[in-house]
Structure formats: C-alpha cells, structure tokens
Amino acid sequence: MFGVGRDLCGSPSPTPLPKQGHPEQAAQDRGQMPLSDSVTTCLSPPVHYVICRLGFEKKDTYDISNILSENGEVRWQAVAEHVCYLESDQSVDYIRSIRSFGPVCECVNLHFQSLPKEQFVVQYAVWFRWTNYTELFLEVFDVLQRTQTTEVALGLMKLTSCLERALGDVYLLIGKDCPFLLRDLLASQQLAVVFGQAVMNVLRVFIGSPYGLNLRNVLWHGFASPQEIPAKYCAMLLFLTAGLGQLLQTYLLQTKCILVHRPYVVFVSLEELDAFPDVNHEALSIAEELVKLSSFVLKTMLPFWMAALTAFKQNRYADCVILLLPQLEVGLRLLFTATNKCPNRLLTAEPSALYTTFDEMLAKHLDNEEVNQLPTVLEEPAMEFLWDFLNHQEGPRIRDRLSHGEINLKAFPREVANQIVAFAITLLCRFSDEDIPFKVKELLRIVYGFANQEHVVIKPLMNCARCYRSRFHPISRLKKQVLGCMKSIHLWPELPTVPEEHVRTIKGLEGNAEASTLILMISEIISQLQQYMPQNCSSSDDPVNSVLTERLLIELCDTHVCTLYSPRPVLEILVVLRKISTQCHRVSEQVIASAELRYEQWMKKTLRSRQRENYLRMLTSMKFLSPVLRLVLVLVTLELVNVHLVCKKNPFDYQQYLKFLKSVLQYTENLVTYTSPERNKWDETMELTNKSLMKIRKISDRKLMLMQLAT
C-alpha cells in the first residue's frame, strides 16, 4: 500500500502525495494529479471571480454618511438598497448585489481604518454586546488596522461563528429548535420578524448562501488562502453586526423580551481526549520545518500553518485550532482527490453541487457508490482519530462546535489543541517528500547539536498515531460503561451492614434458600458460557466469584472491535446493549445509596419495624443481585466483542435475538424500578431474576448468542 520511504522515526513511511498541477488543468485531466507548488488557488474560477474580483469592478467613491448617521446609527434602508433582485421571481441577484456592495465595503473599511481605537469603542462597543463576545469584535477592529491577511481570515472565521451563535439566540426569542445550518438560520421567518427580510437578504449576500460570497464556508472548509479574502468584507461584517445590535435593541424594547444566551459547550473528561503526549518546543520547531517541506501542505496555505503553530506557542489555543482544522481538511482533500483520481474536486464546488468536505472524505463510499480509497491510505488509527474528534455524536465534534460558535474561545483547553497539533504533525511526517528526514536531521544537528533528536521528539507522536483506537464510537462508549458499572458493583462488599444474626431473627425472611437457588443457576450459565471466555478464566470452588470478575471484563474490553463504518444491525444491537449497561449501573448506584442510608438510620435507631425488615430483605437480595448484575455485564461484553457477527444472522434469527436482548433490558429496567428508594420491592427482584435467568439459559441452549456464532 505504501512506498519504501523512511519517516522521521526510521520506520517505513507512506509514498509521498502525487505532485499537483494547476487546478484548472487538473479539472480537464482527471487521471493525473498536478504539482502542489503550482496550485495557485482552491477556488474554482467562478467562485474566485465572485470573491476576489466582482466586488472591485465598480470604482465609485462611496460616502460613509450615506449608511451611517452622525450619531452612529446604521442606515439600514440605504444599505439594503444595494441588494439587487431578479425580475423573474424577486429572489436575490447575488452577482449584481456583490458588485453593488463593492464600493460600500471599501468605504466602511476606510472609515474603520481612520477611526482611533478609543472612538471605535465609544461608538460601537455597546452594539456588540448582543453577541455575548464584545471583545472579539474589538479585536477584529485591531486586525483591520494591520491588514495582515492571515489575521483578517482568522478574524472573519471567529466573527462569523460568533455571529451565527448570537443570531441563533435571537431566533430562540420566537422559535424553537434553532436550525443547525447558517443558511437555514438566515432564511428563517423568525429572524426576518426581528430584523426585517431586507436586512436578512443583506447578510445572505456575504454569508450563508452558496450563491453569494459565502465567506464563512470557503474559509472554514479551507478553500480560501489568506490573500484571497479582501479585508473590506471583514470590515463590512463588523459594521453589519453593530447594525444588527441596534435593530435588536429596538425590537427588545418594543416587545419587552429579554435575550438569553445559550451556555457554551464545556469539554468534560479531558483525559479521554488525551491521546498524544505534550507537543513541546522542539516538536513545534520540527513542525515549522515540515510544513515548508511536506507535500501534505499547499504552498498557498503555508501562512495559515505557520500562524497556527505560532498561536499554539503563544497559548492562543482556540486560534490555533481554528486555523489548523481547515488546513487539515485541505491536506486530506488533496490526498482524497489523489487517491480517488478526482483532482477537480480539490476546488470549491459550484452552488448546484456539494463541496468535498470532511463528511464526504471520511465516508465509506463516494457519491458514485465507489469505495472511498482515503481510509485505506490513512489507515484505521488515523480514521478513528478523525471520526472521534470531528464526527461521533458523543465526541468533542470540535470543528462543528467551533464553526457554529458553541465553544467559549476565551477558555479553549490546551489539551484539545495539543491533540490536533500532534495529529497534524504525524500527517506532515507520513505524507512527505523522501528527502525530508535528511533535511530535518540537518536542522536538528544545527539547532540542537545532534542528529537523532527526531527520534526523541517525533517518535512518541508517531507511535501514538499508529496505536490510536476510537474513544467515542458506541462500541468504545459501551466498553467504558461496562467497566464503570463493574467498579460500582465492586463497592458492595465494602458497604457497612448489620450483623448476619439480625437477618435471621426477622420472621418471614426465607429468601436465603431462593437466593442460593439463583446463584446455582448463575453458576450453571457460567459453565455453559465459559468456553467462549478467555482461557485463563478458570472456575474454582466458587465459580461465580472466580469468573465474573473485573479482570475478565478488562481483558474482554481490551479486545479490538472494528468501529469504522459499523452496519445498521450492529448499531441497533449496540443501542440495546448500552441501555442494559446503563440500567445495571443505575441499580448498583441505587443499592449503594439505599444501603448507606438504611445502615445509618439503623445505627441511629430511626427505622420503623417495617423499614427494618425491608432493609434486611435488601441485604439478602444483594447476595444474588451482585452476581446476576455481573453476569449480565459479562454477557453484554461477550456479545460486544462478537457484535459484527450479528450481520450473519438471517432476518428471523436476528429478530429473535433482538427480542431476547430487549427482554434482558426489560429485566434491568424493572430492577431499577423495584430497587428505587420509592418502591423497595426486594422480594419481587427475586422472582424477576429467576425468570430472566431462565430466558438466558434457554437462549444459550439454542445457541442464538453472538459469542456462540464465533465458533
């Protein structure tokens, strides 16, 4: 699959990406990939014209007083007059509108450049408060004074994501379930009620519509290089955002409504994201050299890469990731188009077609139903990382949340940025020219004094990349659930209990015999299933406690189960298995809480007679509940390890199997109900458990479990 080059760690590396040629020529010759050094733009000719030239065709000089009053209010009627409409259906004529707005945007940009910062703050800061991030817009003003192209692009990306989030908050003043896509949000009737349809049409000329400038999408998807985004469009969006704040204030005063900002997404359990070691100064220095040499990087995008690495060094972690994610998309798109022999798809699509984005590049099949070759080239660990960080619903979904303004940029965690930077470095290493190792060694020899430093710096990153396994696929989440539940059940023996003689003194507690019967049935089921467990799980005089152990579950969960492109039946089974595990954990937590509370009440002698009897019944029930819950967890895990075999079942057997799993789920749900503090029906748990164990034994006898298909 790969060539014979060597990577920076001395191990075999993939063949370098095919060199690219000019994209327009590539579109005509789909069989070859042109030279990367020759790619001057990732914008298709029509899109390049719209963004880079159309707004400069009118040379008129525009007066800022036409659209800005003396007291600093945006004259929206005058602004909206520059939106042109088609005669046929009165929809927006985007080409004429962009051409008309060109001089207006230039005028706004010059106006901002002429304003002292203090005056801008006094005149405009109050009108940015509705975005819940006034500081960002003040930063964008500073960027416009410097007109550094990379900073302008970054400012636009942050501005559009923040604006989208704020518009969503406004939408929720009237509507429910805010649209996920910006274009749907801008086209909504709810925003038209607040701001007016003419105002929304102005915004759609600049963002949200594939027929307009579409600045947000071409930047966030990595199609535009820094020099291709005119600063005047950034200035215009800054101006329009202030104007929206003025309109919103009027609406809120009239309606007496209060704008509520949705809380930001907070990354919890950051340790789950910790796949790569810390990227230190030496690794960043190597990365800066690799960026200049690697064929994974388009030369027109080099400023973005360098700015991202600089941002990481300066602890600006949100900026780093915002800059880097689109560049990962560009590099992967380059690889995608090369491996699937469709070089024309390196460019932005036209309004009538879809862009080639992460969603399509990570999919199993192309839109023509052919198999996508990118996963084969990237290999499973890299695909797992991308799915984990970008796509899985329970993962961080970093690109979605950043681009839609769901994350607090001021508190973006270093841990997340570190993972993205580290992964990017591994891609730079893997897809590089064959002479890169020599060049980097020379750099290290000069900077650090010895040539083998790359082993120390880069090798840990490469090793982690090769060993990565999914953490947010339903399979991975189920493994974590199972182990967490087992840890909870393992706390039971440590719970304080009353002396055993107290249990025997209460009349009507004949549950010990029934509990022993249930434990015997559990032992029989274990004996049936033991052949499907790891060989070192041997029973002793106590088959239940010697087999149903945490060590067994850890060993089973260490078994690799493919997560990429799980078929529908697999996902359906996983949903049920996860629900079973969740209910088991709820039972355990309820038992622990009840046992601790009742013991405390017992010792304080605050329990009534019936409560004392109920507490003692609970202690009796715990003797069989612990092994039965552990048995259920082992069953769940054994089925998980063999879950892909469900695809071998015929439709009838599949339905029978699903019915069985749902019966186990029903059992655990009933256990949750009966063991709740409100119900405390401990005798009923015994009858429930007996019926469920009989079903498990019956299914085992019929060889319908997935683990039994494996043999």
Q: What is the band of 109 on the pLDDT scale with cuts at 50, 70, 90? A: very high
Q: Cα 596 to the chain's mean position, in Å?
A: 39
Please answer whether residues 12 and 2 qualify as being in contact, where contact means their C-beta atoms are separated by less than 8 angstroms. Answer: yes
In this structure, what token pair is assigned to residue 123?
């005149």
pLDDT at 200: 97
pLDDT at 437: 54
The percent of residues above 90 in pLDDT, for the chain, comes to: 68
pLDDT at 539: 54
pLDDT at 29: 38
pLDDT at 436: 54
pLDDT at 207: 96
Q: Is 253 exposed, middle or buried (0-12, 13-18, 19+ CB in 10 A)?
A: exposed
pLDDT at 456: 75
Please answer whether residues 708 and 635 qualify as being in contact, where contact means their C-beta atoms are separated by less than 8 angstroms. Answer: no
Contacts of 401 (CB under 8 A, 6+ apart): 265, 407
At 597, which helix (H) or strand (E)?
Answer: helix 568-603
Mean pLDDT taken over the chain: 88
> 85 phi and psi, to 5 degrees?
-125, 150
Reply yes or no on whether the pLDDT at 421 is more than 50: yes
User: In 3-state terms, the chain is what percent helix, strand and coil (to 5)?
Assistant: 65, 0, 30
Residues 218-232, mean pLDDT to the nearest whole number: 95
Please answer whether residues 576 and 655 qualify as being in contact, where contact means their C-beta atoms are separated by less than 8 angstroms. Answer: no
pLDDT at 459: 87
Residue matched to tokens 């029934």: 514
Residue ranges in 387-510 assigned as alpha helix (H):
398-403, 414-430, 436-448, 453-467, 474-489, 500-505
Q: What is the pLDDT of residues 597-606, one digit of tens each?
A: 999 998 888 9
- HSE (side-chain half, CA atoms, 13 Å) at 6: 12
Residues 444-468, mean pLDDT to the nearest whole number: 72
Among 624, 567, 558, smallest CA distance to 591 is for 624
Q: What is the pLDDT of residues 472-531, one digit of tens each?
A: 999 999 999 999 999 999 999 999 887 766 655 554 444 467 778 888 888 888 888 888
At 293, which helix (H) or strand (E)?
Answer: helix 281-293
> 273 phi and psi, to 5 degrees?
-90, -5
Reply yes or no on whether the pLDDT at 439 is more than 70: no
* Amino acid letter, residue 74: V
Residue matched to tokens 């915002």: 322
Of 235-239, 348-352, 397-401, give the lowest mean pLDDT range.
Answer: 348-352
pLDDT at 25: 39
Contacts of 367 (CB under 8 A, 6+ apart): 354, 360
pLDDT at 609: 86
Q: What is the pLDDT of residues 443-455, one digit of tens each?
A: 555 554 444 455 6
In this structure, what token pair is assigned to residue 660?
């069985």
CA angle 180, 329, 52 (to 5 degrees): 85
CA distances (Å), 75 to each of 68, 235, 252, 337, 590, in order? Answer: 6, 16, 19, 46, 62
Q: Partners of 85 in the beta sheet?
A: 92
pLDDT at 548: 85
pLDDT at 5: 29
Q: What is the band of 98 on the pLDDT scale with cuts at 50, 70, 90? A: very high
Reply yes or no on whether the pLDDT at 412 is more than 80: yes
Give the span between the Cα atoms of 653 and 1, in whole angstroms.
39
Q: What is the DSSP letter of 43?
A: S
Residues 547-568, mean pLDDT to the nearest whole number: 92
Q: What is the band of 534 on the pLDDT scale with cuts at 50, 70, 90? A: confident
Of 205-214, 262-271, 347-356, give the lowest mean pLDDT range.
Answer: 347-356
CA distances (Å), 23 to each of 45, 448, 517, in order? Answer: 10, 40, 75
Among 686, 687, 694, smallest CA distance to 664 is for 694
pLDDT at 696: 92
Q: What is the pLDDT of residues 125-170, one digit of tens each?
A: 999 999 999 999 999 999 999 889 999 999 999 999 999 999 999 9
* Amino acid letter, residue 386: L
Q: What is the pLDDT of residues 235-293, one digit of tens each?
A: 999 999 999 999 999 999 999 999 999 999 999 888 899 999 999 998 999 899 889 98
- HSE (side-chain half, CA atoms, 13 Å) at 13: 24
Q: What is the pLDDT of residues 637-677, one digit of tens each?
A: 999 999 999 999 999 999 999 999 999 999 999 999 999 98
Burial 255-266 (b: 16+ CB within 10 A, else e): eeeebeeeeebe
Give the span between the Cα atoms of 632 and 634, in whole angstroms.
5
Q: What is the pLDDT of residues 303-313, one digit of tens each?
A: 999 999 999 99
CA distances (Å), 230 to each of 63, 342, 645, in order? Answer: 20, 30, 55
| Torsion sign over Cα 218, 223, 228, 231 | positive
Q: What is the pLDDT of residues 5-64, one digit of tens each?
A: 223 333 333 333 433 333 333 333 333 333 455 678 999 999 999 999 999 999 989 999
* Amino acid letter, residue 677: P
Please answer whether residues 170 and 248 qualify as being in contact, where contact means their C-beta atoms are separated by less than 8 angstroms. Answer: yes
In this structure, what token pair is assigned to residue 632?
């259920």
Q: What is the DSSP letter of 388?
A: I
